[in-house]
Structure 1
């Protein structure tokens, strides 16, 4: 049984970073919810915390978009990634 847990840990440590990242559409949904919370928030400190979280989400979204853009540029004439 202990061997199985070790195998599971080894498998998860080999997981590519892209799999661990949120999907772009999930990031946008979270940003939308965050904006709604900020609009309703009266506390400046809480609003600023939400703002910082939003900036982090925007960075994640930009990274995802950059990755997709790079993949599109690599497409060959047949429509396959080279």
Structure 2
């Protein structure tokens, strides 16, 4: 069941074309009668929990900066590598 935010009447989702899985994503619901005077229903804004998420899959993400270095950079003073 879904409540119209304008007239406060309750409707079966199947009777007004609202899928049960989509109902949690609706922010403001207007029934077919109230849609004429109050406008269409609106969906909740999706939250992006990752500030670095570009919407691309992980396979297509590329590094932003390439880093080139050799191991000799890590074996410099004061920490020398001793070979035995």
Work out whether the TM-score is over 0.5.
no
Question: Which structure has the larger Rg?
Answer: 2
Higher percent of residues as helix: 1
Q: Specify which structure has the bigger relative contact order, considering alpha-carbon pairs within 8 angstroms and separated by 6 or more residues.
A: 1
> Which structure is higher in strand share?
2
TM-score (norm 1): 0.23
